């Protein structure tokens, strides 16, 4: 583990802007520059190469070196990095599917942003072995709107990335006119709305890490989960359901649960209490939200609730990723994904239906007075949220939580449907849509006809 990095998280200062200039004014990326490979066999491919040119934005070069403290710009240091940091080869990529996917020539990244003028992919590579070609560190890849944009979707394929362990986000720039509904801010590194795994703090409620930033990650190395042969759902008629509403963490977090400390408050902890549920006569559990959320969101700024921890989960960061801090022993997002499936498999095996309480009417990003920008707001606020065109395009708050998703927009509608499909295929469970009236009749009808 390198200096300044814990649990595979980004360095503490990663959230600071790497650049002090508009992305369109230069092609340099984290002290690296785009250049064309001269050979005709590489036509259409671009290579990210280290530049020994000295820049005024000294943070760029400092970040390229792992464990660097305050940046010191000297020519010898720049030349040393030129020798030690190899190139990343990239290609145009494809526009679909959205999110991260593995394609023939590498890892593809695709994100929707209709009103943006510039998109930069931010990567942090994991620890590498001596046999690997790439060093760990942070990289920024500015997407070319001529090559890497199809309609309103920005995309790029990175050909040298490992198949797991990479964390990523986006910087997105665009119009700054609030009265037109835009909230672009290039200094923010944003979560991919279609990220299937989210990396953040590993320990639930760890106030020493309350200001941590959340990033997408992926895992193409793990084998598919083994559901077993002839897997069957309980398929209990709705009229016969005896439902236990459950918060995964609260159900076993206390020592009175008699669950091993390493799995208290986790998906695996629920498995240990299945006999208790059966004794109660339960044949269905309704899980309070298990999408990724920030339990310490109240503690990021002074406010009357800054002593509180959000354990309910009704403050979604991402609609595809399971809550990573419900993994046992602070195991992280990959373990959380697997253990959630183990929990569902065990419950189904005991004849217990699993119902998921899903929340698509608002997100964690709050309001315009106290915004907590992590994703949608910075990607394309005017598309993802309802705004009051008669009041300087302030966010409309029909949810009572600061914002309201613009669920009648076709892109948001498709996001919701994709999320529901994902969860049904991911863990074979039913869903209950919270405050469904706010997602509108169009989405409700689509849910009924498409799922």
Per-residue model confidence (pLDDT) at position 49 = 37
Hunting for tokens 């990723």 — which residue is that?
321
374 and 284 in a common domain: yes
pLDDT value at 315 more than 80? yes
Question: Region 18-31: what's the mean pLDDT?
Answer: 32
Per-residue model confidence (pLDDT) at position 443 = 52
- Judge whether 50 lies within some domain: no
Per-residue model confidence (pLDDT) at position 35 = 30
Decide which of 166, 185, 219 is a domain's last residue. 219
| DSSP-derived pairing of the beta strands 284-287 and 243-246 | parallel
Of the given ranges (13-22, 92-101, 348-357), which has the lowest mean pLDDT? 13-22
Per-residue model confidence (pLDDT) at position 290 = 97
Per-residue model confidence (pLDDT) at position 128 = 59
Question: What predicted TM-score, i.e. pTM, was given to this entire model?
Answer: 0.80
User: Higher-confidence residue: 169 or 436?
Assistant: 169
- Judge whether 17 lies within some domain: no
Of the given ranges (20-24, 115-119, 160-164), which has the lowest mean pLDDT? 20-24
Mean pLDDT of the chain: 81
**Angle (CA) 342 344 348, round 5°:** 120
pLDDT value at 68 more than 60? no
For residue 429, give the CATH number of its domain: 3.20.20.80
pLDDT value at 254 more than 80? yes
Give the total number of structural domains in the chain: 2
- β-partners of residue 293 are 316
Collapse the DSSP code of 139 into the 3-class scheme (helix H, G, I; strand E, B; otherwise coil) and give the result.
strand
194 and 105 in a common domain: yes
214 and 319 in a common domain: no
pLDDT level of residue 16 (50, 70, 90 thresholds): very low
- How far apart CA 305 and CA 309 sit, in angstroms, is 9
Domain that holds residue 337: 238-449
Per-residue model confidence (pLDDT) at position 269 = 98
- How far apart CA 119 and CA 200 sit, in angstroms, is 22
Question: Region 322-346: what's the mean pLDDT?
Answer: 97
């Amino acid at each position: 583990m390198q200096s300044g990095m814990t649990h595979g998280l980004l360095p503490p200062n990663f959230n600071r802007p790497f650049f002090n200039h508009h992305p369109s004014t230069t092609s340099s990326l984290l002290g690296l520059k785009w250049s064309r490979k001269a050979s005709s066999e590489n036509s259409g491919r671009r290579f990210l190469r280290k530049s020994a040119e000295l820049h005024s934005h000294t943070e760029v070069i400092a970040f390229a070196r792992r464990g660097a403290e305050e940046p010191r710009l000297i020519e010898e240091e720049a030349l040393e990095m030129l020798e030690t940091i190899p190139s990343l080869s990239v290609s145009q990529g494809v526009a679909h599917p959205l999110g991260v996917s593995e394609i023939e020539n590498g890892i593809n990244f695709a994100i929707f942003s209709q009103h943006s003028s510039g998109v930069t992919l931010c990567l942090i590579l994991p620890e590498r072995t001596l046999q690997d070609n790439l060093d760990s560190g942070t990289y920024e890849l500015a997407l070319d709107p001529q090559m890497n944009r199809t309609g309103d979707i920005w995309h790029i394929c990175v050909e040298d990335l490992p198949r797991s362990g990479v964390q990523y986000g986006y910087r997105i720039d665009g119009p700054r006119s609030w009265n037109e509904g835009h909230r672009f801010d290039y200094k923010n590194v944003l979560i991919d709305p279609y990220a299937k795994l989210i990396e953040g703090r590993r320990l639930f409620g760890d106030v020493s890490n309350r200001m941590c930033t959340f990033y997408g990650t992926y895992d193409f190395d793990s084998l598919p989960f083994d559901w077993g042969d002839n897997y069957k759902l309980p398929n209990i008629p709705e009229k016969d359901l005896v439902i236990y509403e459950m918060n995964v963490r609260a159900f076993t977090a206390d020592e009175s649960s008699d669950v091993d400390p390493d799995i208290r408050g986790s998906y695996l902890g629920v498995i240990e209490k299945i006999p208790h549920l059966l004794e109660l006569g339960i044949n269905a559990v309704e899980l309070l939200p298990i999408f990724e959320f920030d339990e310490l969101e109240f503690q990021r700024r002074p406010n009357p609730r800054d002593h509180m921890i959000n354990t309910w989960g009704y403050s979604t960061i991402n609609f595809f990723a399971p809550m990573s801090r419900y993994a046992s022993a602070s195991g992280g997002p990959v373990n959380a994904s697997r253990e959630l499936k183990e929990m569902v498999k065990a419950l189904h095996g005991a004849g217990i239906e699993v119902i998921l309480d899903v929340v698509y009417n608002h997100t964690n990003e709050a309001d315009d007075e106290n915004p907590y920008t992590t994703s949608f707001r910075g990607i394309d606020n005017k598309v993802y949220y309802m705004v009051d065109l008669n009041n300087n395009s302030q966010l409309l708050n029909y949810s009572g939580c600061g914002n309201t998703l613009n669920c009648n927009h076709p892109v948001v509608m498709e996001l919701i449907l994709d999320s529901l499909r994902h969860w049904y295929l991911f863990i074979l469970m039913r869903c209950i849509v919270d405050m469904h009236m706010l997602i509108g009749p169009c989405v409700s009808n689509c849910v009924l006809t498409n799922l």
